[in-house]
């Protein structure tokens, strides 16, 4: 089995699976259970400043989106940072770290944007022996109304400023956690980088309302008939997170900046994808909240198995493997011609491909009397919708047309030479092909 030991900005952990700062990491009891279950690291639930802790609502904190069979696809929450006293958290962190020296323990911190506040808390956090800190510039609900969380993460100047203070008053790795509730993730990432951050972690949760109760007309989760936007997470946000990770990984200004990938990691495969796009490790929350801590065992065995199959011996070798393949649309090869192909042996004849193509796409699937479905190459633009709506994996595939064949849709001969929009004759700004 491949070795999953991970070194992320100098912080070692037996595997790249950390629990994100969130409800599962609010107490020593939970964190000990997490480490016993096999998690490589834990980012402790966000600490606030000394003094009376924040309070949480006393009604529901979570709302959800479901797929078939009530499978949880997305969760949102309106829980604030830890509502337990700072000293209790710090003491528990020290206890846990002492008992699990091989695991990563990170303190997540959110205090007001004043230098003295950061200067005050950082030495106390350092005393716990934790391996690093994560600056919570991400939470979109509650604390943002008080000028913290995503209110900071949305202003690159603040990110840079606070990061600088942390680097100044704390001597271990500083990870800056970014909010996705911005227009372009590269700006806050650059700010963190400029401030001296050792790494960024992303994404924090997405501002959201999960549903509306149609009897009471209250958004969910409902607190006495009213709701507030919460932070959305879980499998539904993974595509957003993957893109943001890739954007940072391939941005010339932040390239090489270590990334802790967060957002809907539910299986080993999700984790591998984050790693491939440039994350050095991943953080998980919703999967644990949905299924319990044991899911990490599947993640570890799955990643390890896959690495073995690929002949990869360390997590580092996975990191960034797919990053070079993320490009701009304008550089996609327009000479790559594919056609959908339906495997009749696998087809169960549900006809969803037909309905999708006929109603909403290119009328490129034919249906016979006996419900045999076949692709009309003359019409197929290879949009992939049939593949996406087919309930049977691998039943419909996209097949590349070979060089020299004639595309029956366009009548043009397939040419294997790479050619993109920048040199396309329809592009008014086209440059001559090399």
Partner 1 sequence: MANSRLTPGVVAQRLGDQDYSRNFADKDPLLDTHEAAVAADRCYFCHDAPCVTACPTDIDIPMFIREIQTGNPQAAARTILEQNILGGMCARVCPTEQLCEEKCVREVAEGKPVEIGRLQRYATDTLMSADVHPFTRGAATGKKVAVVGAGPAGLSAAHRLAMKGHDVVIFDAREKPGGLNEYGIATYKTADNFAQREVDWLMQIGGITIETGKALGGDLTLDGLRGDYDAVFLAIGLAGVNALRAEGEEKTHVTDAVDFIAALRQAGDFGSVPVGRDVVVIGGGMTAVDAAVQSKLLGAEHVTMVYRRGRDAMSASEYEQDHAASKGVRIITGAAPLRLHGNGAVAEIEFAYTEAGPDGLTLTDNTFRLKADQVFKAIGQTLDGVPAGLELTGRKISVTGAGRTSLTGVWAGGDCAAGGDDLTVTAVAEGRDAAEDIHATLMGG
CA distances from 418 to 47, 175, 328, 422 (A): 52, 40, 15, 12
Select 346 or 405, whichever has its Cβ closest to partner 1: 346
Select 171 or 345, whichever has its Cβ closest to partner 1: 345
Label the pairing between strands 132-136 and 281-284.
Answer: unpaired
DSSP 3-state of 30: helix
Is 139 an annotated catalytic residue? yes
Select 302 or 351, whichever has its Cβ closest to partner 1: 351
- Bridge partners (DSSP) listed for residue 213: 218
Q: Is the peptide bond before 43 cis (omega within 30 degrees of 0)?
A: no
Residues that bind partner 1 (CB under 8 A): 68-70, 348-352, 354-355, 367, 371, 391-392
CB-based contact 11:173 (threshold 8 Å) = yes
- First vs last C-alpha separation in the chain: 47
Residue 108 host element (H or E): strand 104-109
Residue carrying the six token digits 């956090």: 125
Closest approach, Cβ 339 to partner 1, in A, equals 21
- Alpha-helical runs (H) found in 45-195: 86-99, 115-127, 150-153, 156-169, 186-194
Closest approach, Cβ 62 to partner 1, in A, equals 20
CB-based contact 413:406 (threshold 8 Å) = yes
Closest approach, Cβ 356 to partner 1, in A, equals 9
Q: Which of 168, 171, 26, 227 is nearest to 108 (CA)?
A: 26
Select 214 or 432, whichever has its Cβ closest to partner 1: 214
Candidate list 113, 130, 139, 386, residue with the active-site label: 139
Select 367 or 381, whichever has its Cβ closest to partner 1: 367
Closest approach, Cβ 384 to partner 1, in A, equals 18
Label the pairing between strands 174-177 and 211-213.
Answer: unpaired
Closest approach, Cβ 77 to partner 1, in A, equals 24
Query: Which residues are designated catalytic?
Result: 139
């Amino acid at each position: 089995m491949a070795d999953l030991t991970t070194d992320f900005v100098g912080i070692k952990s037996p595997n790249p699976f950390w629990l994100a700062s969130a409800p599962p990491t609010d107490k020593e009891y939970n964190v000990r259970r997490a480490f016993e279950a096999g998690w490589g690291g834990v980012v402790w639930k966000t600490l606030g400043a000394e003094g009376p802790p924040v309070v949480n609502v006393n009604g529901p904190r979570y709302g959800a989106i479901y797929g078939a069979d009530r499978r949880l696809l997305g969760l949102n929450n309106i829980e604030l940072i830890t509502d337990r006293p700072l000293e209790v958290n710090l003491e528990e962190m020290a206890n846990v770290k002492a008992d699990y020296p091989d695991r990563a323990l990170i303190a997540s911190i959110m205090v007001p944007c004043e230098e003295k506040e950061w200067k005050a808390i950082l030495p106390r956090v350092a005393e716990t022996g934790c391996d690093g800190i994560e600056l919570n510039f991400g939470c979109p609900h509650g604390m943002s109304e008080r000028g913290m969380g995503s209110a900071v993460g949305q202003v690159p100047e603040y990110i840079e400023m606070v990061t600088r203070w942390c680097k100044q008053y704390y001597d271990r790795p500083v990870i800056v956690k970014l909010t996705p509730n911005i227009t372009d993730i590269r700006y806050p990432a650059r700010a963190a980088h400029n401030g001296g951050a050792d790494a960024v972690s992303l994404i924090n949760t997405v501002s959201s309302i999960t549903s509306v109760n149609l009897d009471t007309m209250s958004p969910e989760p409902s607190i006495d008939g009213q709701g507030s936007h919460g932070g959305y997470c879980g499998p539904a946000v993974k595509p957003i997170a993957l893109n943001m990770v890739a954007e940072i990984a391939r941005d010339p200004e932040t390239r090489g900046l270590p990334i802790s990938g967060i957002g809907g990691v539910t299986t080993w495969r999700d984790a591998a994808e984050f790693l491939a796009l440039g994350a050095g490790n991943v953080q998980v929350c919703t999967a644990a909240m949905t299924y319990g801590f044991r899911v990490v065992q599947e993640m570890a065995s799955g990643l390890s198995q896959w690495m073995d199959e690929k002949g990869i011996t360390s997590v580092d070798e996975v990191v960034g493997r797919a990053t070079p393949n993320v490009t701009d649309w304008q550089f996609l090869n327009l000479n790559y011609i594919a056609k959908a192909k339906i495997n009749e042996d696998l087809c169960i004849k549900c006809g969803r491909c037909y309905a999708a193509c006929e109603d909403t796409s290119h009328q490129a699937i034919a249906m016979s009397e006996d419900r045999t479905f076949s692709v009309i190459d003359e019409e197929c633009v290879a949009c992939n919708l049939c593949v996406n709506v087919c309930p049977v994996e691998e039943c419909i595939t996209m097949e590349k047309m070979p060089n020299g064949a004639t595309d029956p849709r366009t009548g043009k001969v397939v040419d294997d030479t790479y050619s993109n929009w920048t040199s396309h004759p329809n592009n008014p700004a086209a440059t001559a092909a090399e």
